[in-house]
Amino acid sequence: MKITDLKCAIIGHNPVVRITTDEGIEGYGQAESPKRYLKPHVLFYRDHVLGRDPTDVERVMSTIRRLGGFKPWGSAVSAIEFALWDIAGKAAGVPVYKLLGGKVRDKVRVYNGAVRPPLEGITPQHYADNMRQMKESPENFSIIKQGVAFHSPMSTEVPDFYYGDHVDARFHPNRGLLTEKGFKHLMACIEATKDVCGDEVGLALDAGPGMMAPDLLRLAKECEPLNLMWIEDALTGDYVPYVLPDVYRDVTMATSTPIHTGEQIYLRQNFKDLIEQKAVNVIGPDPADIGGIAELKWVAEYADLHGILMAPHGTADGLIGLAALVQVCATLPPNYIAFEYPTGNPEWWYDIIDGLPDPIVTDSYIDVWDTPGLGVSFNDKARAYLREEDADFFD
C-alpha cells in the first residue's frame, strides 16, 4: 500500500487531514480548533510522505517527526499520525487499540474541560454558580476542571490582581507575582467552587501559564485541605515553548496538592526531565500536540515507571481527536486517570461524523468501540460544510 495524497481542509474551526492510498483506504486526523492557520504547515509534509506505506506508521513518522515543534507546530505532525493509524487499523480490519497492544479497559473515564456555560462574572458566587451548572450536565462528569488565575478573567478583570503590566494578546501572555488582594480573591473563588463539588466531583484547576513559583507553592499549600485533583500549567503550559522541570520540582516536593503540566509538550524527549526528576505528579500531554497517540502511550508508560499519573489534555481536539483519545486511552497503564473530553465545534460536527456512541458519555465514561481504524467517518453531509478552497477535499 502506498500514500497517494495528503490533503488538509478547515472544517468548521478544525484543520482536518485526509490521507489517501492506492488501495482506496483513506485515513483522517484532526488538529485543535484554535489552529485554523495550520493548513500550510500540514501540507508542508506532503512531499515527505507520498509513496510511503502508511501502515508502517513509525517509518513514516520518522521522516517528519523531527520537523515539528512545541505547540502549535507539533499539531500538524500529530494529525498526520492519527490518519496513519486510521489507515493501518482499517487495512488490518481492527480498531487502533489492537495495534497499540490491545485494550486494558472496556470504557475510558473522561473529565470536563469543554462542556461549560459562560462564566458570567469573577466573584466567588459566579464561580459557584458556574460549577453548579457543570455538575448538573447530563454527562455526569466525575472530574471537572475550572480556569482560575492567569487561565481565567481574574488576571484582567480583578483590579490589582498581580504586579505586572497587562499584555492585551491571546494565548495567556500575562505573568507576574500575585498581590495579597489577588491571592485572597483567587482562594475565595476556589473555595466557593469546591463547596459545590463537595466529595462527589473531583475539582481540577487550570491556573496558568503565568504564575510565579512562590505563588504556586502558596496556592498549593493553601489548597491542601481541599483535596484537589491537581493544579495545572500554573508556571508554564499552553503555548509556552519550554518546560522548566526544575522549577516545577521545587514546588511539587513541598506540597501534597498534585501539580500537573504537559499539554504543550512535543515528543517524549521533552518529557524526559519532567518525568525523571519527578517534577510533577500528573502529566497531561495532548495527542494532537505531543506527536500522536503512539507517542502519548510511550510517555504514559514511562511516567508510570516513575509513579507519575496521566490525565491527557484534549479540550479542542474535535470528534476525530476524541476518537483517537478513546483508542489510545483504552490501552494505557493504571496511572491513567481520565482524559479531557473534546466536543464538536460548531454543533453541526455531530451531524457529519458517524460512528460515535449516542450518548457519547454516560456517567463520565465512554465505551470503547470496536470499529476498524479510529472508528469514525465522515458522511455525505460533510461536503456542504467545506469551504470553497477545499471543495475537492473528499475527491
Cα dihedral across residues 368, 370, 375, 376: positive or negative: negative
Average pLDDT over residues 175-185: 98
Condensed to tens digits (0 to 9), the pLDDT of residues 79-110 reads 999 999 999 999 999 999 999 999 999 999 99
Q: Which CATH superfamily is domain 98-374 in?
A: Enolase-like C-terminal domain (3.20.20.120)
For the whole model, what pTM was predicted? 0.97
At 170 the pLDDT is 87
Residue 171: pLDDT band with limits 50, 70, 90: confident
Q: Residue 112 gets which letter from DSSP?
A: B
Average pLDDT across the chain, whole number:
97
Average pLDDT over residues 152-175: 92
Residue 223: what are its φ and ψ, rounded to 5°?
A: -90, 0
- Whether pLDDT at 169 is above 90: no
Condensed to tens digits (0 to 9), the pLDDT of residues 342-384 reads 999 999 999 999 999 999 999 999 999 999 999 999 999 999 9
Map grid coordinates 486526523 to a residue: 29
- How many residues in the chain? 395
* CATH code matching the domain that covers 3-93+378-390, chosen among 1.20.120.140, 3.90.870.10, 3.30.70.1110, 3.30.390.10: 3.30.390.10
| Alpha carbon separation from 342 to 101, 224, 227, 280 (Å, rounded) | 24, 29, 25, 24
Average pLDDT over residues 114-120: 95
Q: For the chain, what are the domain ranges?
A: 3-93+378-390, 98-374
Query: What is the radius of gyration, based on Cα positions, of the chain?
Result: 21
Beta bridge pairs of residue 109:
365
Condensed to tens digits (0 to 9), the pLDDT of residues 264-294 reads 999 999 999 999 999 999 999 999 999 999 9
At 336 the pLDDT is 98
User: How many C-beta neighbours within 10 Å does residue 2 have?
Assistant: 12
Helix (H) or strand (E) holding 318: helix 318-329
Distance of alpha carbon 178 from alpha carbon 212, whole angstroms: 8
